[in-house]
Amino acid sequence: MAVSVDEAVGTRPARDRTPRARRFGGRGRAVLEVALLTVLAAVMLFPALWMIETSIKENRDVYAIPAKFFDFKVTMDHFKDVFVASGGGRSTLSDSFLNSVVVAGASTALATVLGVPAAWAYSRFAVKAKKDQLFFILSTRFMPPVVVVIPIFLMYRQVGLIDTKLGLILIYAAFNIPFTIWMMKGFVDEVPAEYEDAAMLDGYTRLQAFWRFTLPLLLPGIAATAVFALIFSWNEFVFAIFLTSSDSVRTAPPAIAGLIGGTTVDWGLVAAASVVFALPVLVFAYLVRRHLVAGVTLGAVRR
């Protein structure tokens, strides 16, 4: 029974076997685990790689049977088609990308401007029924979009917001505010309230204390939160397809989905448009990778 402490503590997944058997079993098992992980990673990544491959293939090779994995001709035509219309000039797809930038940017800005102060107030003050309010705020985010869009559609038709960028910006801001408040409250909780108390002892008002001392410390958190809000608005599809119809307003997700409406589908173009659409998201997601757990659970889980 004499197990030396060194041996037990040395390797983290320490095993209770003789050293020799352990080395063999451990290595065999590690190889198996790495192999399994590699296979799983390949399966998870294959569709993304296939999408990139399709976007640079010539049409002939896109529809080849059996599928061509390596020996295909590389072309950038599909990417050109994404941005340039067949007769020259800007394509409708590129317009929709611009619309997406405007809508996602403006709605994120609005959600941040409204959400950050609210998060600070919920973190610092004894608001009445605080917990209930916060849970209510989060639960609005869980409403099925198809259900919400019916009355929103009627409401927008009434006030003339249907098929406008402003309409989309407002609904996306409303849909990002619960996330912003929950995510930011976590960041505000991490900044000690004593900083503000100290500033107030020096004669600043509470508002000045927030503005001058707390807000600068929150900037990295605000940036991360805004990036997530940007991704959510950028990827959103349901509201976009029901609340907009004209090319000058339509954002990228419904525009890309519209590419498969006709009788023949140019899958090379779909792939290229998808790559252009997904690339910024992946870059942004990489930038906020440290906050991913909090981000994807809408700020509810923090580790």
Partner 1 sequence: MSDPAPLTTDHPGQVASATPPAPGRSRRSRRLSDRGLAVAFTSPALLLLLAMSVFPLLWALYLSFTDYSATRGGPAQFLWFENYTAILTSPQVHQRALTTLVYVVGAVTLQTVLGFAIAYLISRRTHGRGLLTTLFLVPMMLSPVVVGLFWRFMLDAQFGVINSMLGSLGLGQVEWLTGQRTALISLILVDTWQWTPFIMLIALAGLTAVPTYLYEAASIDRASEWFRFRTITLPLVWPLLLIAVLFRAIEAFRLFDLVYILTSGGPGVSTETLSFHVYKVAFLGFNTGTASAYGILMVLVVIVLTQLYLRYLNKLKED
Write out the binding residues for partner 1, residues 120-139 only, by CB under 8 A.
120-122, 124-127, 131, 133, 135, 137-139
Chosen residue from 21, 24, 27, 41 binding partner 1 by CB under 8 A: 41
**Residue 101 contacts partner 1 per CB under 8 A:** no
For the window 238-277, what string marks contact with partner 1 as x by the rule CB under 8 A?
x--xx----------xx-xx-xx------x--xx--x--x
Tokens 């599909």 belong to 78
Cβ 88 to partner 1 shortest distance, Å:
27
User: Is residue 240 within 8 Å of 250, Cβ to Cβ?
Assistant: yes
Cβ 240 to partner 1 shortest distance, Å:
9
Q: What is the DSSP letter of 59?
A: H
Cβ 47 to partner 1 shortest distance, Å:
6
Residues in the chain: 303
**Residue 84 contacts partner 1 per CB under 8 A:** no
**Residue 24 contacts partner 1 per CB under 8 A:** no
Alpha carbon 274 to its chain centroid, in Å, reads 15
* Residue 47: HSE in the Cβ half-sphere, 13 Å Cα cutoff: 5
Tokens 């580790």 belong to 303
**Residue 211 contacts partner 1 per CB under 8 A:** no
* Residue with Cβ nearer partner 1 (62 or 222): 62
User: Is residue 173 within 8 Å of 107, Cβ to Cβ?
Assistant: yes
Binding window for partner 1 (CB under 8 A); candidates: 70-78, 82-90, 218-226, 279-287:
279-287
- Using CB atoms within 10 A of its CB, is residue 284 exposed (0-12), middle (13-18) or buried (19+)? middle
Q: Identify residues 57-76 at the interface with partner 1 (CB under 8 A).
A: 62-67
DSSP for 69-94? SS---B--HHHHHHHB-TTSSB-HHH
Binding window for partner 1 (CB under 8 A); candidates: 74-82, 91-99, 191-199, 219-227:
191-199
**Residue 39 contacts partner 1 per CB under 8 A:** no
